């Protein structure tokens, strides 16, 4: 029989939630190595969704590790401060391409003085402090969602909507990336404390921890979950349901309607690394100036690194024993998601959970795209049921109205449409520009 019976035909299902893209997590066994700061750090003054910060120190001024160097509270609640990742001197304010926003933005070059890491803020006792004090610290520490969205965490935690369920996202669905799951192995108590602080701020009792780790991989962490009455949900290690809305669907079997967000249905999702950052800010007085990421290349495999924001990628390459000329393309992200940086002098940002290098033997498959043959694969595979091919056409015409009708803003930037396209069309630019067109219209 040429075609399978209807109930055996899995294409639609595969195109929705069960896309298996050889998800590996070899780096899980690799402990974090801490990279010392580079001689010069490049720190963007905007590393969140929201307005840019202004430099609040002078060029030439000495700064402490963790000192606030950028803020703009007058621009509204969506601004979070930027801090110096090193003790050093503000050498220069520059403008350069922010690889995440795709726009030219302000950054500062900081000449590093030493490796000092004394926390800048006083620790707080989460049991004693009020909700408002805790929220203020979360903002002051510059915390944003570390799963990639960079949404200000204090705004998300301060929602006026009634939240009944907190989901902690440790799905980590990107191929070859393991830094979140590794964090669960290395910092179990801190993560649990961070989750409890978030729950206190939200006044939520029901908490689910969604993870791709398997039984026996994180025993200490799982014991703590049980002790703290946090339920554990094991996720299938398939791609793209790390996205908030899809995670809610997978964990609670509830749809978040288009144009709405999980809080609209009483659910809040936070990334596991964000919970850790919240704990560090409250209990240790540490602003968000470093994070865990997985460095991956086909030759080297995966390596978990603890890196300060503003560290140039070529410094990371040197640390792992690679040469900046060895890779033809470097992505701030995984093989499926993330922007390609113009050269390795670009720094990592708060949103960088991975750095992936491609050698000249792995040429960019999207370099010479062919015309669209209207096969429809991209439309079928999209996990949020939008039509990337139609969006591409509307973006080429700069038709904001049509883009809005096509719900471009629902795109979770999973990269699957580019992955399946036989014409090797890279959708990233059309989707990002499309979202910007709708936002600016």
Write out the residues near ligand SF4 by the rule CB under 6 A. Answer: 372-378, 381-384, 386, 388-389, 411-417, 420-423, 425, 427, 431
Q: What angle do CA 294, 297, 300 make, to 5 degrees?
A: 95
Q: Which residue, 44 or 387, is less far from ligand SF4 as judged by CB?
A: 387
- Among candidates 401, 399, 394, which has minimal Cα distance to 427? 394
The distance of closest approach from Cβ of residue 368 to ligand SF4 in the complex, given in angstroms and rounded to an integer, is 14
CA distance 413 to 93: 31
The distance of closest approach from Cβ of residue 391 to ligand SF4 in the complex, given in angstroms and rounded to an integer, is 7
Q: Which residue, 146 or 417, is less far from ligand SF4 as judged by CB?
A: 417
Query: What is the token pair recorded at 86?
Result: 């090193």
* Those residues with Cβ within 8 angstroms of residue 18's Cβ, 6 or more apart along the chain or in another chain: 10, 236, 238
The distance of closest approach from Cβ of residue 4 to ligand SF4 in the complex, given in angstroms and rounded to an integer, is 22
CA distance 13 to 199: 35
The distance of closest approach from Cβ of residue 275 to ligand SF4 in the complex, given in angstroms and rounded to an integer, is 25
Q: Which residue, 381 or 438, is less far from ligand SF4 as judged by CB?
A: 381
Query: CB of 55 within 8 A of CB of 106?
Result: yes
The distance of closest approach from Cβ of residue 378 to ligand SF4 in the complex, given in angstroms and rounded to an integer, is 3
Q: Which residue, 144 or 392, is less far from ligand SF4 as judged by CB?
A: 392
Query: CB of 336 within 8 A of CB of 156?
Result: no
Q: Which residue, 81 or 415, is less far from ligand SF4 as judged by CB?
A: 415
CA distance 53 to 45: 5
Q: Which residue, 59 or 373, is less far from ligand SF4 as judged by CB?
A: 373
Query: CB of 185 within 8 A of CB of 304?
Result: no
Q: Which residue, 184 or 354, is less far from ligand SF4 as judged by CB?
A: 354
CA distance 48 to 79: 7
The distance of closest approach from Cβ of residue 17 to ligand SF4 in the complex, given in angstroms and rounded to an integer, is 12
The distance of closest approach from Cβ of residue 100 to ligand SF4 in the complex, given in angstroms and rounded to an integer, is 16
The distance of closest approach from Cβ of residue 350 to ligand SF4 in the complex, given in angstroms and rounded to an integer, is 22
CA dihedral sign, ordered 227, 229, 234, 239: negative
Query: CB of 330 within 8 A of CB of 363?
Result: no
Q: Which residue, 317 or 421, is less far from ligand SF4 as judged by CB?
A: 421
CA distance 191 to 352: 19
CA distance 97 to 193: 37
The distance of closest approach from Cβ of residue 120 to ligand SF4 in the complex, given in angstroms and rounded to an integer, is 38
* Those residues with Cβ within 8 angstroms of residue 100's Cβ, 6 or more apart along the chain or in another chain: 47, 150, 332, 339, 349, 351
Q: Which residue, 223 or 375, is less far from ligand SF4 as judged by CB?
A: 375
User: Radius of gyration of the chain from Cα atoms?
Assistant: 21
CA distance 284 to 278: 10
Work out whether strand 231-234 and strand 165-170 pair parallel, antiparallel, or are unpaired.
Answer: unpaired
Q: Which residue, 345 or 423, is less far from ligand SF4 as judged by CB?
A: 423
What separation, in Å, do the N-terminal and C-terminal C-alpha atoms of the chain show? 52
The distance of closest approach from Cβ of residue 303 to ligand SF4 in the complex, given in angstroms and rounded to an integer, is 27
């Amino acid at each position: 029989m040429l075609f399978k019976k209807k109930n055996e035909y899995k294409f639609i299902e595969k195109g929705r939630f069960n896309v298996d893209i050889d998800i590996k997590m070899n780096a899980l066994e690799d402990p974090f190595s801490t990279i010392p700061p580079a001689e010069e750090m490049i720190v963007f003054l905007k590393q969140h969704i929201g307005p840019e910060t202004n430099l609040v120190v002078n060029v030439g001024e000495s700064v402490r590790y963790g000192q606030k160097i950028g803020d703009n509270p007058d621009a509204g609640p969506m601004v979070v401060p930027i801090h110096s990742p090193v003790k050093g001197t503000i050498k220069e304010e520059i403008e350069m391409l922010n690889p995440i926003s795709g726009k030219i933005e302000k950054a500062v070059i900081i000449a590093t003085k030493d490796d000092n890491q004394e926390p800048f803020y006083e620790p707080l006792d989460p049991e004693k402090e009020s909700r408002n004090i805790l929220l203020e610290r979360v903002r002051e520490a510059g915390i944003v969602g570390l799963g990639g969205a960079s949404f200000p965490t204090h705004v998300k935690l301060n929602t006026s909507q009634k939240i009944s369920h907190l989901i902690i996202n440790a799905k980590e669905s990107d191929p070859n990336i393991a830094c979140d799951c590794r964090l669960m192995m290395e910092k179990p108590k801190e993560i649990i404390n961070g989750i409890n602080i978030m729950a206190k701020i939200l006044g939520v009792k029901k908490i689910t921890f969604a993870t791709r780790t398997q039984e026996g991989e994180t025993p200490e962490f799982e014991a703590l979950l049980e002790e703290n009455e946090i339920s554990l949900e094991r996720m299938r290690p398939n791609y793209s349901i790390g996205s908030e809305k899809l995670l809610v669907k997978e964990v609670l079997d509830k749809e978040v309607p288009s144009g709405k967000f999980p809080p609209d249905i009483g659910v809040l999702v936070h990334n596991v690394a964000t919970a850790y950052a919240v704990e560090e800010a409250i209990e240790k007085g540490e602003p968000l100036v470093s994070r865990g990421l997985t460095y991956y290349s086909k030759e080297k495999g995966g390596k978990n690194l603890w890196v300060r924001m503003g560290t140039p990628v070529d410094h990371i390459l040197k640390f792992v024993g690679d040469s900046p000329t060895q890779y033809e393309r470097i992505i701030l992200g995984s093989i499926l998601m993330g922007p390609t940086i113009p050269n390795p002098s670009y720094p990592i940002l708060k949103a960088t959970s991975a750095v992936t290098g491609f050698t000249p033997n792995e040429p960019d498959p999207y370099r010479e795209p062919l015309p669209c043959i209207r096969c429809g694969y991209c439309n079928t595979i999209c996990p949020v049921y939008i039509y990337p091919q139609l969006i591409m056409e509307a973006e080429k015409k700069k038709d904001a109205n049509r883009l809005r009708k096509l719900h471009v803003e629902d795109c979770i930037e999973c990269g699957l449409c580019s992955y399946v396209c036989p014409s090797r069309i890279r959708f990233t630019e059309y989707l990002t520009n499309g979202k910007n067109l709708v936002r600016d219209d």
